[in-house]
Every structure is written in C-alpha cells, then in structure tokens.
Structure 1
Amino acid sequence: MSEIPVLDTRPPAGLQPGSVAAKKLTKRIRRLAGQAIVDYGMIDDGDRVMVCLSGGKDSYTLLDTLLYLQRVAPIDFTIRAVNLDQKQPGFPEHVLPGYLHELGVDYEIIERDTYSVVTEKIEPGATMCGLCSRLRRGILYRYAREQGFNRIALGHHRDDIVETLFLNMFHGGRMSAMPPKLLSDDGDNVVIRPLAYCPEKDIEKFSRLSQHPIIPCNLCGSQENLARQNVKAMLAEWEAADPGRSERIFRSMTRIAPSQMADRTLFDFQGLDVEADESGTIDGPERDTAVGQPSIIRN
C-alpha cells in the first residue's frame, strides 16, 4: 500500500502567525494548560515526563505547550516524546522523526506490529479502536516503566472529557469521565492530561497555525466509535444553540455536591436526619459546602 500523505493544515483565514489573534490563542492555551497542571499537581520538580505523540493535532499541541512551560516553569522536569508505530498500512514513517529532530526534542519511536494482531482478532467491518488502544496503552505503560518515566502525558482536551462523561452515562449507567490526573492501570505511573481545560476548537486552530504535519488517525480503515460520534454531534448541536454549554458541563464536574446526588458510597444518606438540641429545637442538616464553590477555570 502506498504511503498516505499528511493532512493539509494551513493556518485558517484571519489567524496568521504573528498576528494579535494568534498570540492571544497561544497565550490562552498555555495559560489553561499551566493552570490545569498547577490545580491538579500534575508535574513536580524532578519529574520525568513521557509525552505520547500520535501525530494528531492534540498531541502536537500538548508537546509544544509542555516544551514552552518547561522553559519558563520554576521547576525542572524532563520531557521525551514517544510515538508508537503500530505498522498500520500507509503510515508515513518519516514524518514524526523528521519533525522531532528538527524540533530538537528527545524522542523515541517504538515499533510494534499491533495492526496484524488487531486484524486477526477483529471481524471485518467491526471497529478496531478498542483493542488497538488497549494494546497501545499496554506497550506505552511498559516502556514508561522500563525507562523510568513517572508521568505519562496524554493529549485529551476538555471536549474529550465531556464526551466521555456522556458516553459513560448513556452506555455504562455511571458518572465518570477522564480525570485530569490518575494512577495508571499498572500502578507504576501517573497519567496526566495538561490540556484538560482547553477546548478542542482552540487546539485545532493552534495546530493549523503551527502547521503541524498531521497524520490521519484512521489509516487502518476503522471508523471512530459510532457512539462517540453521536455524542460529539449532540454536544456540537447544543453548543451551537447555547454557546458555552460544554464549558459549563465541564465546570459542573469540578463542583460536585455529593448530598445532592444519589451515590450512597459518597454520602451517608442512612445517617441523615434532623436533630433536636437540649431546648427541643430541631436543626436540619448543614448545607453541602461543595455547592457554590468557585470554578477552577479562570478567565
């Protein structure tokens, strides 16, 4: 199969390099990423950060942003960009090494033929993404452990997190999403998502502005999970009708009031009752202190 060319990512009209709009966009992404890192304690002095680079707009933006923050932060931490070449047909193997070499960043390209494994186990026409991502995650986690990295940085953004929240509610019957920071499945690494506060539209503009050499994500021919596509379309429709709704949904995830939900593992509903003091006056339960807390997203 012939090599598939990278996508055309010329800067959008009205957003040229060096323009006021471009500078504001870059500053906004860096500020939001830096704030997320501080709010969740993602990176500490002496940390070794492995940035997972797929060749998509999100991971390119993540790497650019972390390299900038590395230069200006009051702490010292190291960065290595890591890409997993899964031997998908048509994958342009020269693109990432060329880009990273020119950037002057420490990097590693891991080669593993997971494509053959996936195509052998998945029936034709079925979505490969689930198994493919699990294999990729296992390889990257093992590499991080063997190389001594204690932080694995992923490029998920605010929209990814909100979409996952609804996917889990609609199809899993639970309220969970992608946390900005969590312990990896193997228990040996901390996974961080520095772009957790950044909207996808800003990342897309920044990536086009930076003219990142974008590699298509569906080289294998598999389509994105239909359920996620439907949720993405639903949120886009909501956002068009009510701008700012996605941001408010994300903000609500940072202001959870356990007493106003129904999870008995988070709040003692059994022990909730009115109490009478010595004078016989009945006192009600105190108002949940989580309600009304200020947003962690700052303008």
Structure 2
Amino acid sequence: MSGIAGSDCSVITPVGDRLPLEQIEKNIITIYRKPIWSKFTKALKQFKMVNPGDKVAVAISGGKDSLLLAKLFQELKKHSDHSFELEFISMDPGFHPSNRKLLEDHCDYLGIPVKIFDKQLFDVVDEIANDYPCYLCARMRRGALYAYAESLGCNKVALGHHFDDVIETIMMNILCSGKYQTMMPKLKAKNFDNMELIRPLCEIREDDIKLFASESGLSPMDCGCAVAAKKTSSKRREVKELIKTLGASFKDVEKSIYMSAQNIYLDAVVGWRNGKEHYSFLDRYDD
C-alpha cells in the first residue's frame, strides 16, 4: 500500500544509521512542519476527517507513506485536545518473510504498536487477475482492512495515499478509462455501516515523504507485492513520468491537476454521474 497499492515494489536501500526515535518525532513538527505536519493537520480540518469520539484504524503496509502516517497520528494524539482513539493495523497479504520482518522491525523501532493479521491475498490475485492485479488486490485488501478495523471497534480507516497518488489517479482515469474521477480525501465504506475511509496525506508530496524517510535513516518497503513485481510495465509509472514531463512545460501542473477536482464547472460538463444515475447537460438545457 502506498496506502493500499504502490507503484514500485522494490525495497528502498538503507541510507544510513537511523536517527533516534525522539529525534524523528521532533523533526516531524519542526524540520518537516511546513511540508508535512501542517499539510497533515490542514487536510484533517479541511475535510473533517477526525472528530471527537472517533476510533481510527491506521493501516500500515510497511512502506514509507503508511509509517509516516502512523507517526503523524501519534504526534496528533500527543498534541491534540480532541478525544479520539487509535489502532495500528497491518495485513500480511502474503509477504516474503524478509518483508514481514522489515515491517515488524520498523514498527518496533518507531514505537508503533501494530496489530498484524494474515490474509493470503497475493496467491488469489495472482490466480484470477489479468492486466490490472493492483486494482483487484486493492479492493480485496480494503475489505479485509474494514472487517478487521470493525472487529476492533473502529469507525474509520486511515490510508497513506499522498498528493502524487491523487493526481496520478485523476490522470489514469482520464487517459485509461475515459472518465473524470479523483481519489477522494474521505468516503463512506460500502458494505460496512458507520465506517469511513480517510486519506490524511492527500496534500503531502511524495518527494517530501521520501526525504523524511531517507533523512531518518529508514529503509521501508514500498509494497512488497510479488504479483505486481512480475509485471514489466505499469500504467501508473507511465503516468507518473508523463506528469513529470508536463511539469517542464506547464508551471505548477501538479497543483493544477489536483485543484481541478475542486473546481468543476457543471455548466461546462456534457455529462455526469451521481451514483448509478447518469445526467446530461440536455436535461436542463432549456431551463
């Protein structure tokens, strides 16, 4: 999971000795206050992600994004006046033993009391998926996370999708599916009453997360997926490169893609959907 699904299934090479845990926690709200901490708290407030009385299950994959998310929530709990509870959960969908150990090691070092549950999904996905195993796996993993979070009494699941995940998803939907659809900052879970999914890293750039991980001396895995590792190409990787290329010609193109989902002019849209209902501009053309 870069949240749930990552784009690169390699393991990041260790950069150096780990910083002391106390220093890592201090850096989050000092050195990384502007690029990470402030954007995290802004998203929580702007999209009303956490309320008093909530019990949030922070989903940890072992990657850089979800480990940072866990530490951010720990710092929020430490410094916030809001009364909310936290659970840290991780699903082992069939990791190689070395990746499982890497996950456990990082959580132990970072003081994250993670609860790991086994759900052998990789074998299932490998058997039935064709061109888009990540999509199928993400859906199955999300359902398993909801069920486990519900069993712990949680009403929200927090995933580690960041800003770059959001804009890549927008572009993939346009280029590959012929539709405009973003990755929502929060949404109600299907088939699980009173459960919500939240994405508190949605305004944080991936490069800043990478910098935090490397300067902290951490070497987390990206997704550890044996299924995706077999694929020689990735549309998400291609889109990531396309956005990077566009950035050379269009100023702030990443920000423009991100903000486009918040500035849709319905008077200039040919058609749109609301649930299963489809609407056309002709429906109100003569009004």
Which amino acid is 2:81 matched to? P
How far apart are the structure 2 equivalents of 1:131 and 1:245? 30
Are 1:60 and 1:212, in contact at CA under 8 Å, matched by a contact in 2?
no
Are 2:60 and 2:88, in contact at CA under 8 Å, matched by a contact in 1?
yes
Describe the SS at the equivalent of 2:197.
strand
Alignment equivalent of 2:55, drawn from 30, 48, 61 = 48
Alignment equivalent of 1:261, drawn from 254, 260, 269 = 269
How far apart are the structure 2 equivalents of 1:205 and 1:20? 12
TM-align CA RMSD: 3.0
Per-residue deviation, residues 105-142 of structure 1 (Å, max 9, x unmatched): 3320011222222333347xx65323322321221111
Alignment equivalent of 2:73, drawn from 55, 66, 69 = 66
How far apart are the structure 2 equivalents of 1:225 and 1:258? 36
How far apart are the structure 2 equivalents of 1:259 and 1:79? 43
Q: Taking structure 1 as reference, are residues 5 and 246 closer, same or farther at Cα in structure 2, changes over 3 Å only? A: closer
Are 2:15 and 2:219, in contact at CA under 8 Å, matched by a contact in 1?
no
Describe the SS at the equivalent of 2:148.
helix
How far apart are the structure 1 equivalents of 2:151 and 2:166? 29
How far apart are the structure 2 equivalents of 1:182 and 1:88? 28
Partner of 2:238: 230
Map residues 125-140 of structure 1 onto 2, 5 A cutoff: 128-140=133-145
How far apart are the structure 2 equivalents of 1:252 and 1:129? 25
Map residues 139-288 of structure 1 onto 2, 5 A cutoff: 139-188=144-193, 189-220=195-226, 221-223=229-231, 226-263=234-271, 270-272=283-285
Q: How far did residue 203 of structure 1 move? A: 1.4
Map residues 97-136 of structure 1 onto 2, 5 A cutoff: 97-122=104-129, 128-136=133-141
5+ long unaligned stretches in structure 2: 1-8, 17-22, 274-278
Are 2:64 and 2:222, in contact at CA under 8 Å, matched by a contact in 1?
no
Which amino acid is 1:111 matched to? D
Are 1:80 and 1:105, in contact at CA under 8 Å, matched by a contact in 2?
no
Q: Taking structure 1 as reference, are residues 247 and 92 closer, same or farther at Cα in structure 2, changes over 3 Å only? A: same
Q: How far did residue 185 of structure 1 move? A: 2.4
Q: Which moved more, 1:88-97 or 1:203-212?
A: 88-97
How far apart are the structure 2 equivalents of 1:5 and 1:122? 21
Which amino acid is 1:96 matched to? L
Q: Does 1:7 align with 2:12?
A: yes
How far apart are the structure 2 equivalents of 1:138 and 1:101? 26
Larger RCO (CA under 8 A, 6+ residues apart)? 2
Are 1:79 and 1:106, in contact at CA under 8 Å, matched by a contact in 2?
no
Aligned residues: 264
Partner of 1:83: 90
Describe the SS at the equivalent of 2:116.
strand
How far apart are the structure 2 equivalents of 1:200 and 1:186? 31
Q: Taking structure 1 as reference, are residues 249 and 131 closer, same or farther at Cα in structure 2, changes over 3 Å only? A: closer
Q: Which moved more, 1:19-28 or 1:109-118?
A: 19-28
Q: Taking structure 1 as reference, are residues 161 and 264 closer, same or farther at Cα in structure 2, changes over 3 Å only? A: closer
Q: How far did residue 73 of structure 1 move? A: 2.0
Are 2:10 and 2:224, in contact at CA under 8 Å, matched by a contact in 1?
no
Q: Taking structure 1 as reference, are residues 6 and 232 closer, same or farther at Cα in structure 2, changes over 3 Å only? A: closer
Describe the SS at the equivalent of 1:44.
coil
Which protein shows a greater Rg? 1
Q: How far did residue 166 of structure 1 move? A: 1.3
Are 1:62 and 1:195, in contact at CA under 8 Å, matched by a contact in 2?
yes
Describe the SS at the equivalent of 1:66.
helix
Q: Which has the higher helix share?
A: 2
Q: Which moved more, 1:86-95 or 1:254-263?
A: 86-95
